[in-house]
Amino acid sequence: MEETKKSLLDDSFTSAMTLTNSGVPQVPDRYVLPPSQRPALGSTSLGTTTTETTTLPVIDLSLLHQPSLRSRVIHEINMACKEFGFFQVINHGIPSSVVKDALDAATLFFDLPVEEKMRLVSANVHEPVRYGTSLNHSTDRVHYWRDFIKHYSHPLPKWIDMWPSNPPCYKEKVGKYAEATHVLHKQLIEAIAESLGLEKNYLQEEIEEGSQVMAVNCYPACPEPAIALGMPPHSDFSSLTILLQSSQGLQIMDHNKNWVRVPYIEGALIVQLGDQMEVMSNGIYKSVIHRVTVNKDVRRLSFASLHSLPLHKKISPAAKLVNGNNDNAEPAYGEFSFNDFLEYISSNDFIQQRFIDTIKKSSP
């Protein structure tokens, strides 16, 4: 046993799946978080509590299409974005069969032999298709109990040939889900722009040509879920992220810096505001800080679809939201592109300092 553990630790790349499948009774040292960063499941630690009492917003999207109810839904979206930068959506229009097929294809992918998955391994964050473990196995100081495959997904014909060709159904099934998410994200962006008092078609062209990164995450059962995490606290660089989860595990940080468990709702999808939305709204909406806990019993899968402006297109605060009634007002943020974010994470520890904090203008 000792020997098995040692040989796993010596490998420069060992996926979380490999560790779970080999039946390790403990997580290797590199996964053990400093006490102040542990999820403290169900208990209080160092001023941060995990709570289940906060009710998180759930929005029925089908009502957006009913002219007499649209403004009420836009108001609900406004409240959710201001309060949490987060909401769940039901009746979102993506058929449950499309969702199920995508999850099935992901399960088959992660169950492939390691050698097959390693064909796509890369530590280069600029790579459009990339298999990996933790956040970045080659640079992480603390590791996270997650394996992933990420791929650019829009426009689909440009990227799909580079996606995994195993399992054979992967491209078709995950492709259908990616396209459906892209359609849904356009409706959400329109509604969010409206909720900010902007034109419904604000940045429409850039959004149509925008980038979509699909992160397919696998969090295998973990022997020590109280001292490890699947993903550390972070916000997404995107304008918005549409997240599909197969079971509970996501937590978001509320205004009081408490961690709130996001309940699993059958058939629902999660919408999270990212840094591009915080900048575009000039800080009226904030990107949501979130993390992923792991558990002892079940493997959890998620699809995080990160939508943003095109790779090199800079986003900046909307003029209307900067000036308001005051023509001399200054924007609260500098501009940035998805590519700027990639450059930042290639050479900085984004857990120590959030990217968005580097582009905030300090108040005069």
Strands (E), the chain: 50-51, 58-60, 86-90, 129-133, 147-152, 211-219, 231-234, 240-245, 250-253, 259-261, 269-273, 290-292, 300-308
Inter-residue contact 236 to 48 (CB < 8 Å)? no
* Residue 135 interacts with which of Ni ion, ligand OGA, none, CB < 5 to 8 Å by class: none
Q: Which lies closer to ligand OGA via its Cβ, residue 133 or residue 245?
A: 245
290 belongs to the binding site for ligand OGA (CB under 6 A): yes
Identify the three-state secondary structure at position 172: helix
231 belongs to the binding site for ligand OGA (CB under 6 A): yes
Q: Which lies closer to ligand OGA via its Cβ, residue 210 or residue 317?
A: 210
275 — phi, psi (to 5°)?
A: -60, -35
Tell me which residue has its CB nearest to Ni ion: 236
348: Cβ contacts below 8 Å, ≥ 6 apart = none
192 belongs to the binding site for ligand OGA (CB under 6 A): no
286 belongs to the binding site for ligand OGA (CB under 6 A): no
* Residue 302 interacts with which of ligand OGA, Ni ion, none, CB < 5 to 8 Å by class: ligand OGA
269 belongs to the binding site for ligand OGA (CB under 6 A): no
Residue of the chain from 215, 242, 277, 318 that contacts ligand OGA (CB under 6 A): 215
Identify the three-state secondary structure at position 215: strand
Least distance to Ni ion, CB of residue 243, Å:
8
Q: How many CA atoms lie within 13 A of 15 on its CB side?
A: 24
Least distance to ligand OGA, CB of residue 156, Å:
20
Inter-residue contact 120 to 129 (CB < 8 Å)? yes
Token reading at 268? 């629902």
277 belongs to the binding site for ligand OGA (CB under 6 A): no
160 belongs to the binding site for ligand OGA (CB under 6 A): no
268: Cβ contacts below 8 Å, ≥ 6 apart = 58, 88, 89, 90, 92
Residue of the chain from 271, 292, 315, 332 that contacts ligand OGA (CB under 6 A): 292
302 belongs to the binding site for ligand OGA (CB under 6 A): yes
With CA atoms as reference, report the closest residue to 47 among 35, 56, 59: 35
3-state helix, strand, coil in the chain (%, to 5): 35, 20, 45
Among the residue ranges 38-46, 68-76, 111-119, 245-253, the one whose residues contact ligand OGA (CB under 6 A): 245-253
Least distance to ligand OGA, CB of residue 135, Å:
10
* Residue 276 interacts with which of Ni ion, ligand OGA, none, CB < 5 to 8 Å by class: none
Site residues, ligand OGA (CB under 6 A): 215, 217, 231, 236, 243, 245, 249-250, 290, 292, 302, 304
